[in-house]
């Protein structure tokens, strides 16, 4: 074996290891974006992927040694095209058909079978150059090394810089490099006719993926516009979420992973209920903590209270708080609240922050997205609410948005029961109507007893009034209390309840 042949085979194994795991991560991540519940999506994808690899490995025995090299190159070409198209096709399936889950499974099976063929065929190609035990160890160690690089590059480099769509196309092209290297190095071992056919396939495949990459921004814009009614003025995929801002006349809307976070037409209803009800009951409101709320709208309402000395805002995604500070439309909506000297922003996980030592807070505001995946469900757990309690002053209280008591009734009352079981002296639910959301719920937990009749609004509001306050505590028959179990880190029951409720309405 020549040195070039050795290097090409080593390169092929390494690249195959990278691409195989990248495709798996891309399909699972895309599915979790669109369907939520990341653990289920990753588990299903990994399970089907591994089973399909087993099927591919099994059928590799039917490939004859006579055309082994040609077949391997052809498999890499097909795999490069399928892998490069996997996310674009899933995006199209989500936007234009009702068969996204089926498409995801079919794509996983197809790519998994092709990946399963790779290692056995490569091992057979290398058998003439290494003894069996060296052959297997070389193939597997290089494949695993490539997989390690893929797992590190995916969250820290690929998602922040390319996103899922472009990463898919890019690694399809990377996969093609195996075919290029093989055709170049082993040209003399492939018949002229077959070599010509493979070269044509290679050129067509590279042209297809290169064109897709070249027009990816145009295609992504068209795809995004098909999902959102209004004009998209900003979109970015961060390591944590996909952020989209749309605008139609005076209606500015923020979406995270496709879920509406606010509409500027009626967001004041939500934020007034979130802020002014607990603040009106607080015995002291000097030191405030907000978990989430990177858009600055909750801070805008808090700054109406001159008694507040400091506001710590903890938001996981730096891009979200950057938008709240710098995006002209968001700055206008939040009235430059995040530039106020009282506001201190930290970009970190809320659970981690509450575990760190710091002074207690008079009021804690939890303005997090709904518990639609495992990472968020942990922030609606009994353990999390106990951390919240430990970070409050003896007379402190907190409030959390708690999804819709109408659309996700079980989830709402699961959150209520979870907070109630977390040793707060008093736990009180309330709800308001936000037209863009529907009926929306909140839950307060306090380290002291309070009387809701004591609420007196001391600041100017657009929606809340003494008259409307009397209605927020009343839960009609169809949204009335139901006994549900508590949600914990070990058993995040709120996730299942939430997905069950919203799946029907979605």
Distance CA 133, CA 118 (A): 18
Confidence of residue 322 (pLDDT cuts 50, 70, 90): very high
For the stretch 44-78, pLDDT in tens is 999 999 999 999 999 999 998 888 889 999 999 99
Instruction: Report whether 384 contacts 354 (CB < 8 A).
Output: yes
- The full DSSP string for 186-239 is TGGGS-HHHHHHHHHHHHHHHHHHHHHHHTHHHHHHHHHHHH-SSEEEEEEE-S
Which three-class secondary structure state does DSSP give residue 171? helix
Half-sphere exposure of 301 (CA within 13 A, CB side): 27
Provide CATH 1.20.1250.20 ranges for the chain. Answer: 3-221
Mean pLDDT on 460-485 = 92
Active site residue ranges = 367
pLDDT in tens, 153-174: 998 888 888 989 999 999 999 9
* CA–CA separation, 338 and 201 (whole Å): 55
| CATH 2.40.50.140 corresponds to the domain 223-261 | no
CATH superfamily name and code, 266-505:
Vaccinia Virus protein VP39 (3.40.50.150)
Residues spanned by CATH 2.30.140.10 within the chain? 223-261
Comparison of pLDDT for 237 and 406, the residue scoring more: 406
Q: Are 273 and 428 in contact (CB under 8 A)?
A: no
Three-point CA angle 281, 335, 403, nearest 5°: 50
The whole-number average pLDDT for the span 418-444 is 96
Give the pLDDT of residue 132. 46
pLDDT tens string 350-382? 999 999 999 999 999 999 999 988 889 999 999
Q: What is the pTM of this model?
A: 0.80
Contact between 272 and 462 (Cβ < 8 Å) = yes
**Which pLDDT value is given to residue 506?**
59
Q: What residue ranges of the chain are covered by domains with CATH 3.40.50.150?
A: 266-505
Whether the predicted pLDDT of 263 surpasses 80: yes
pLDDT at 131 over 60: no
**Architecture of the CATH domain 3-221:** Up-down Bundle (1.20)
How does residue 504 score in pLDDT terms, banded at 50, 70 and 90? low
The band of 36, judged by pLDDT with boundaries at 50, 70 and 90, is confident
Q: pLDDT for 67-115, tens place per residue? A: 888 999 999 999 999 999 999 999 999 888 878 999 999 999 999 999 9
Question: Which pLDDT value is given to residue 139?
Answer: 67
Amino acid 39: pLDDT: 83
């Amino acid at each position: 074996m020549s040195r070039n042949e050795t290097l090409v085979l080593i390169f092929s194994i390494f690249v195959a290891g990278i691409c195989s795991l990248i495709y798996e991560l891309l399909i699972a991540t895309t599915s979790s974006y669109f369907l939520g519940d990341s653990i289920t999506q990753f588990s299903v994808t990994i399970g089907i992927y591994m089973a399909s690899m087993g099927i591919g490995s099994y059928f590799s025995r039917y490939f004859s040694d006579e055309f082994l090299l040609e077949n391997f190159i052809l498999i890499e070409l097909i795999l490069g095209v399928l892998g490069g198209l996997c996310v674009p096709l899933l995006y199209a399936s989500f936007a234009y058909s009702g068969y996204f889950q089926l498409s995801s499974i079919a794509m996983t099976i197809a790519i998994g079978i092709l990946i399963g063929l790779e290692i056995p065929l490569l091992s057979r190609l290398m058998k003439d150059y290494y003894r069996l035990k060296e052959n297997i160890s070389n193939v597997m160690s290089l494949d695993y090394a490539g997989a390690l690089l893929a797992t590190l590059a995916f969250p820290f480099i690929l998602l922040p810089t390319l996103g899922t769509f472009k990463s898919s196309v890019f690694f399809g092209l990377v996969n093609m490099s195996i075919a290029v290297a093989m055709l170049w190095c082993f040209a003399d071992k492939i018949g002229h006719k077959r070599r010509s056919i493979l070269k044509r396939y290679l050129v067509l495949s590279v042209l297809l993926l290169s064109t897709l990459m070249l027009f990816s921004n145009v295609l992504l814009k068209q795809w995004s516009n098909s999902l959102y009614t209004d004009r998209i003025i900003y979109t970015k995929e961060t390591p944590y979420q996909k952020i989209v801002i749309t605008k139609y006349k005076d209606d500015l809307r923020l979406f995270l992973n496709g879920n509406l976070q606010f509409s500027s037409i009626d967001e004041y209803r939500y934020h007034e209920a979130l802020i002014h009800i607990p603040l009106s009951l607080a015995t002291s409101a000097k030191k405030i903590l907000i978990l989430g709320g990177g858009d600055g709208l909750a801070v805008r309402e808090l700054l109406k209270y001159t008694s507040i000395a400091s506001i710590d805002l903890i938001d996981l995604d730096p891009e979200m708080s950057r938008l709240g500070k710098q995006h002209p439309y968001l700055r206008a909506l939040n009235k430059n609240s995040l530039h106020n000297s009282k506001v201190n922003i930290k970009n970190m996980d809320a659970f981690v922050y509450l575990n760190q030592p710091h002074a207690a807070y008079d009021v804690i505001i939890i303005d997090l997205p709904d518990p639609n995946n495992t990472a968020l469900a942990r922030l609606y757990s009994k353990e999390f609410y106990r951390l919240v309690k430990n970070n409050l002053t003896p007379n402190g209280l907190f409030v959390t948005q708690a999804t819709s008591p109408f659309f996700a009734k079980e989830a709402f009352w699961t959150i209520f029961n979870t907070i109630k079981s977390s040793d707060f002296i008093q736990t009180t639910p309330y709800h308001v109507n936000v037209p863009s959301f529907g009926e929306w719920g909140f839950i307060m937990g306090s380290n002291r007893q309070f009387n809701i009749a004591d609420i007196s609004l001391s600041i100017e509001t657009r929606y809340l009034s003494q008259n409307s306050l009397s209605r927020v505590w009343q839960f009609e028959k169809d949204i009335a209390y139901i006994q549900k179990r508590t949600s914990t880190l070990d058993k995040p029951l709120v996730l299942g309840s939430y997905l069950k409720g919203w799946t029907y309405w979605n």
